[in-house]
Structure 1
Amino acid sequence: MNLKTVLEKLKLEPYVLALFGMVVLASILPVRGEVAHGLNIVVKLAIALLFFLHGAKLSRESVVAGVTHWRLHLLILAFTFVMFPVLGLVVSKTGVLQPTLAAGILFLCCLPSTVQSSIAFTSIARGNVAAAVVAASASNLFGIFITPVLVGLLMHTQGGASGGWKSVQDIVVQLLLPFIAGQLARPLVSGWIAKHKGLIGYVDRGSILLVVYSAFSEAVVGGIWHKISPLQLVLLLVVCGALLAIVLAATTFGARGLGFSPEDEKAITFCGSKKSLATGVPMAGILFPGPTAGIIVLPLMIFHQIQLMACSVIAQHYAKKAREAEA
């Protein structure tokens, strides 16, 4: 019996095991110093390549349709900046978690969606990638201004959005410009892309693995395993898992109930259920004092890992159903 057969019997996806492997590897051998800086550059280049390939793959008509799909974008923004904060308020009032961790849950609920993983999972699931690109990018752009306001209203925290324009610049340079470049290069490279469709999949999955390893390395170097008791860690895992499950169910069944297509449903599910570690960690440093910020971002770090694991399984399930439908 080979490894593939064993994994099939256990209902385990090799890609999910690879994600767990990145967490274990980062816990044992986290990158530090200049190596971490170099890995960060590699991650950014991988993500830029991902967006270039998506830009080159998508037809101009698909991009226009993605931009003008206002019902989908409004629904995703409602999940991100309305439903999530309401759920965060409920959790913070239950008293299940210690006050700082409860504040961390509320903070993560105020954050925008991820960009690269939302789009990568939508692509793996064969969903509406063009709409996902626009929705996830818009969520991050709006979040730069909406998140500090929500945090100030819900947590009574003093702080500004200094550095906000730097975040806007990073999104434009790292995501939108490569996508536009891919669109412009489409007449030259679309034929080659069509012959090497597997390349998109490798870049999707590879970029997410790099993000997981890089992000968790930073958490380990920052002393994540020394900042919380085992019991609080278990409770935090349960709360984060329950929060994600509620939102995943709401986005999936909400999209179906409102009559969205299966492709749109996938974009709504992946873009509406995520929270951005890349945006959240810098914002926490701005909005909270140094010692507090370290604990505040802990729920976000854990939620980030859980969402990647869960959504990888969901994306693979969607992809399998799509392949079976085509067959």
Structure 2
Amino acid sequence: MANKISKVLQSQSFTLALLGAVLAAILFPELGVKGGPLQTQITTKIAVALTFVIQGLSLPTRQIAASATKLRLHAFCQVSIFLVAPLLMLGYMTVVGGLLHPGIEAGFFYLAALPTTISSAIVMTSNSEGDSSSALFSTTLANVLGIFATPLLCSIFLSASSEDGPQLSTLIGKLSMLVLAPLVLGQLIRPLVRDWAKASKKLFKRLSNSFIVFIVFAAFCQSVSSGIWGQIGLAAVLLTLVLTLVFLFLFSSVVWFSSPLGSSEKPERIAAFFCGSQKTLASGVPMASILFASLPADGNMAIGLMILPLMCYHPLQLFLAGAISPYFAKIAK
């Protein structure tokens, strides 16, 4: 029994670390505020850049290029990620958005505007006997397109809902400097250190996760110090969790049942499901720290509020993927 509990805790170590970062922010908010001891207005930017350098180092360039030919499948994945998800979320928020704090409601749209995961989508596709090489290309393409598509979608939504909505050109410029440039740098360095990069996957993952936990800590320190969480209360957090779960099932169902539009082959449909329905925490948290850095911590659009739906979606999508992976593995044969 103790071994089973230990394995479960180990498998969810990243989620637990995120919860620990939130708890630490509640207890010691003064550490992570702008101008505080950790100088998070500078160190979070460094953490963002290093996160994407690591991502660039981790991506196998040759394998990505080799799996680029399935245009129909890749087009389906990108449409699911950047068109279906936002439109579905707009409809969903029309129904339930009135129940939510404006910052959390905006956070749901931010969730929908994000690209997909890379590592977990590929791993889950492989575990489910899906086409993992196609998953690699689609997820990588989505994360590059997300540098432009995510701020575009956020700019449209936030400009319509808040006078503080960020300017599109400014957002893309910041993301290009702190996301795209480090990602490209990592890819340029990779051929020189390919063997070391392959052998350092676990190290890269730990470092990347540590940077994300730090960014989450900084974001929540800002919002806790502003007193915004006292205004919202625990009930709003629990409601966010429930509504995130409902959206996950809705969106996942839409992607799976429409996946024949991407391919008639079961392995490719499985790849399309995981690539099209997952949302990235690894890129989403760093991007939020850039996109919404100019928004006041004590306003309706505090970063801590806006990443809450994403932090709920991340573990839920992993639980769902783990539950359905054995079924997918059977139908793929």
The interval holding the TM-score normalised by the smaller chain is 0.7 to 0.9
Alpha-carbon separation, structure 2, partners of 1:183 and 1:291: 35
Alignment correspondent of 2:144 = 137
CA contact (8 A) 1:123 1:129 kept: yes
Superposed displacement of residue 292, structure 1:
8.5
Alignment correspondent of 1:108 = 107
Secondary structure in 1 matching 2:113: coil
Distance 1:274 1:258, change over 3 A: farther
CA contact (8 A) 1:39 1:214 kept: no
CA contact (8 A) 1:107 1:151 kept: yes
Alignment correspondent of 1:58 = 61
**Mean Cα deviation higher: 247-256 or 183-192:** 247-256
Q: Deviations over 1:146-182 (max 9, x none)?
A: 33434566x5x667653x2232122222232233233
Alpha-carbon separation, structure 1, partners of 2:177 and 2:70: 19
Alignment correspondent of 1:267 = 275
What TM-score, normalized to structure 1?
A: 0.72
Superposed displacement of residue 40, structure 1:
0.8
Alignment correspondent of 2:206 = 202
Q: Which runs of 5+ in 1 are unaligned?
A: none
Alignment correspondent of 2:14 = 15
Alignment correspondent of 1:174 = 178
1:79 corresponds to which of 59, 81, 84: 84
Q: After the TM superposition, which residues 90-101 of structure 1 pair with which residues of structure 2 at under 5 Å, given as runs? A: 90-92=95-97, 97=99, 101=101
Distance 1:49 1:278, change over 3 A: closer
Alpha-carbon separation, structure 2, partners of 1:129 and 1:121: 10
CA contact (8 A) 2:47 2:215 kept: yes
Superposed displacement of residue 87, structure 1:
0.9
Alpha-carbon separation, structure 1, partners of 2:41 and 2:70: 34
CA contact (8 A) 1:131 1:267 kept: yes
**Mean Cα deviation higher: 34-43 or 64-73:** 64-73
Alignment correspondent of 1:212 = 216
Give the residue type in structure 1 aligned to 2:80: L
Alpha-carbon separation, structure 2, partners of 1:13 and 1:200: 17
Q: Deviations over 1:121-170 (max 9, x none)?
A: 435546524322321332341233333434566x5x667653x2232122
Superposed displacement of residue 89, structure 1:
1.0
Q: Which runs of 5+ in 2 are unaligned?
A: 127-131
Alpha-carbon separation, structure 2, partners of 1:278 and 1:267: 20
Superposed displacement of residue 47, structure 1:
1.0
Alpha-carbon separation, structure 2, partners of 1:204 and 1:313: 21
Give the residue type in structure 2 aligned to 1:191: D
2:314 corresponds to which of 287, 308, 313: 308
Distance 1:23 1:54, change over 3 A: same
Distance 1:297 1:41, change over 3 A: closer
Give the residue type in structure 2 aligned to 1:302: L
Distance 1:50 1:236, change over 3 A: same
Superposed displacement of residue 49, structure 1:
2.6
Supply the RMSD in Å over aligned alpha carbons.
4.2
Alpha-carbon separation, structure 1, partners of 2:179 and 2:196: 22
Superposed displacement of residue 60, structure 1:
6.0
Superposed displacement of residue 303, structure 1:
0.8
CA contact (8 A) 1:27 1:217 kept: yes
Distance 1:28 1:18, change over 3 A: same
What TM-score, normalized to structure 2?
A: 0.71
Alpha-carbon separation, structure 1, partners of 2:66 and 2:212: 23
Alpha-carbon separation, structure 2, partners of 1:174 and 1:234: 33
